[in-house]
Chain A
């Protein structure tokens, strides 16, 4: 018979979590014999993602009033260790630090820094023949973090499932749950479809892309990147900006980027990415205080490094 099953090129990027199952799984993991975790290096996967980006000055408005041009520096570091517990279950344990630094004006009610430092706890599980799921919770502190208090503690949850139709088509279903956000539950649908030998539509939030394989190691893409998070600003933030109601206020930050990029696989386990374009949408939404600031489009540049070993 033929050998067509070697046609199994996979570019899985599951982006996704059952909170009720998690404590049970953790208990099971700790009770499991250490052999499955320690014995083979193949049974432990490591993921390291680094990202550094800069967005140029974008004129920003508060209630339609120009409050100046704001630029932005984005930094994100995420490391996840993923030991295989059994043939269908992988644990995910790690940490992430992400930071938005804004060059703020005095007139606008904008935080200088929005950042988070969180743990990553979750699992990947093969639910059925063609279904995989990921559940990931990121308990940590979210805010300006000049002063850390209980109000900064949050634990957004990401749940996702992927249906693997075949080597060229996979469907994604995701859910983000963050009870602090104005949109506490955010569903998402995605697809990865390699519709031609060189072309792939990788429509997965937060980074949907149209990809072109220049060669085996170089990929060009046109993509959208969505960066968002829910943070709590400092207890004196409102006083400083003449709006005491913003002390300890919750802010949803969202930006949407559009631009081309390249991904270069330097080694089989290491990929570098560089992209540039425009931040086409950027908003700081103090939704429970009815205050929203948004920016005009601004150019951006971003470099990233993804290691899987």
Chain B
């Protein structure tokens, strides 16, 4: 533990130290902490998205994957493009709504939240919301939220009214997170047990020793490492979205933190709330500038970590298949993003 503390101090010093004199070699860096030990730069620059399915975790609900790709933008531009990207334009992603949140957030941040019962996955969410009153809830809620949501939906069970009920719940959760960081994230209650999204995220990350080392400054500053009861010293960008996760309409709340480390960036983008289907998710990014011949841009590594209840029961070949499909879905999203980037470049 002491050694770990020393390591963190050393890393923090390294971060604040002048860095202009040493530009990092992304490929060497990648080898140090990622599963990519041999990278064909030519393939990357030609637009191939490289992927590695993560190893089996001890944490039973968790699964991970690593992706590496090239973006013809500088690291700063990549970050800005990511945060301003509108995924709803890509219909294959089945994202109904996605929006940023102001800080502090206000109820009207959720004005795009509209539950259209013509979509089967949305109808599922509406039905599950209405069934809370009967005590059978498959949604990620605590008992107080369940009571409030049941009472709210009981007053008016129209899809618009239920959408407003959810907006209120999301607003309360987002406000608590903005005030108290991960320490303000309320647990879900399932079968009388409390399940903390932050604990799920930490459990997954703790199995990734090299990645934790690489991202130690960022993870420390965001409260992801340690007790996480304090508010982050970094100012994140907040967001929410409504999307189809495994044919279930799912609402989530997320936050993205950026840290400049020398000539490159580290980003932590995580969901601290999901209404169903999964418990929590985090994506770590490291974005380096790269200059090869006439190609200028960024090499992006991302590590995805997902905690979902079904994973506990998914073993053997099913789990491998789940990992493969998870990567395909990430790639689908990335291709949409990269297509948008290319189409908006002068």
Interface residues of A (CB under 8 A from B): 1-10, 12, 14, 40, 42-47, 82, 84, 87-88, 90, 124, 126, 129-130, 132, 134, 162, 164-167, 194, 196-198, 216, 268-269, 308-309
Q: How many residues of B contact A (CB 8 A)?
A: 60
CB pair A167 B246 closer than 8 Å: yes
**Is B57's CB within 8 Å of the partner chain A?**
yes
Could you name 11 residue pairs across A and B whose Cβ atoms are closer than 8 Å?
A1-B82, A3-B243, A4-B243, A5-B65, A8-B325, A10-B314, A10-B325, A12-B321, A14-B317, A129-B324, A167-B246
CB pair A4 B332 closer than 8 Å: yes
| Majority secondary structure of chain B interface residues (helix, strand, loop or mixed) | mixed
**Is B41's CB within 8 Å of the partner chain A?**
no
CB pair B329 A197 closer than 8 Å: no
The residue of chain A having its C-beta at the shortest distance from the C-beta of B315 within the complex is: A45
CB pair A42 B56 closer than 8 Å: yes
CB pair B120 A1 closer than 8 Å: no
**Is B286's CB within 8 Å of the partner chain A?**
no
Given A3-B252, A87-B56, A216-B138, CB of A8 within 8 Å of CB of B317: no
CB pair A5 B330 closer than 8 Å: yes
Residues of B with C-beta under 8 A to A46: 315
The 9 closest A-B pairs by CB, nearest first: A45-B316, A45-B315, A197-B120, A9-B246, A2-B87, A5-B329, A6-B245, A268-B313, A12-B321
CB pair B326 A124 closer than 8 Å: no
Which of B98, B309, B317, B325 is within 8 Å of A2, CB to CB?
Answer: B98
Residues of A with C-beta under 8 A to B320: 88, 90, 124, 126, 132
Which of the candidate stretches B15-23, B170-178, B216-224, B277-285 sits at the interface with the other chain? B277-285
Given A8-B246, A164-B324, A216-B138, CB of A1 within 8 Å of CB of B329: no
Which chain B residues numbered 247 to 261 have a C-beta less than 8 Å away from chain A? 247, 250, 252, 254
Given A132-B321, A308-B315, CB of A8 within 8 Å of CB of B283: no
Residues of B with C-beta under 8 A to A129: 51, 324, 327
CB pair A132 B317 closer than 8 Å: yes
Given A1-B87, A164-B328, A166-B329, CB of A47 within 8 Å of CB of B277: no
**Is B322's CB within 8 Å of the partner chain A?**
yes
**Is B55's CB within 8 Å of the partner chain A?**
yes
CB pair B82 A5 closer than 8 Å: no
CA distance A4 to B281 in the complex (A): 11
CA distance A40 to B58 in the complex (A): 7
Given A42-B315, A197-B121, CB of A167 within 8 Å of CB of B329: yes
CB pair A1 B337 closer than 8 Å: yes
Which of B247, B271, B314, B337 is within 8 Å of A3, CB to CB?
Answer: B271
CB pair A132 B324 closer than 8 Å: yes
**Is B73's CB within 8 Å of the partner chain A?**
no
CB pair B243 A165 closer than 8 Å: no
CB pair B120 A3 closer than 8 Å: no
Residues of B with C-beta under 8 A to A216: 138
Scan B303-346; emit 1 where CB is below 8 A from any A CB, else 0.
01010111011111111111011111110110001000000000
* Highest count of chain B CB atoms <10 Å: which of A5, A129, A308, A309: A5
The residue of chain A having its C-beta at the shortest distance from the C-beta of B306 within the complex is: A6
Residues of A with C-beta under 8 A to B241: 2-3
CA distance A132 to B252 in the complex (A): 32
CA distance A245 to B325 in the complex (A): 54
CB pair B281 A3 closer than 8 Å: yes
CB pair A7 B316 closer than 8 Å: no
Residues of B with C-beta under 8 A to A87: 53, 55-56
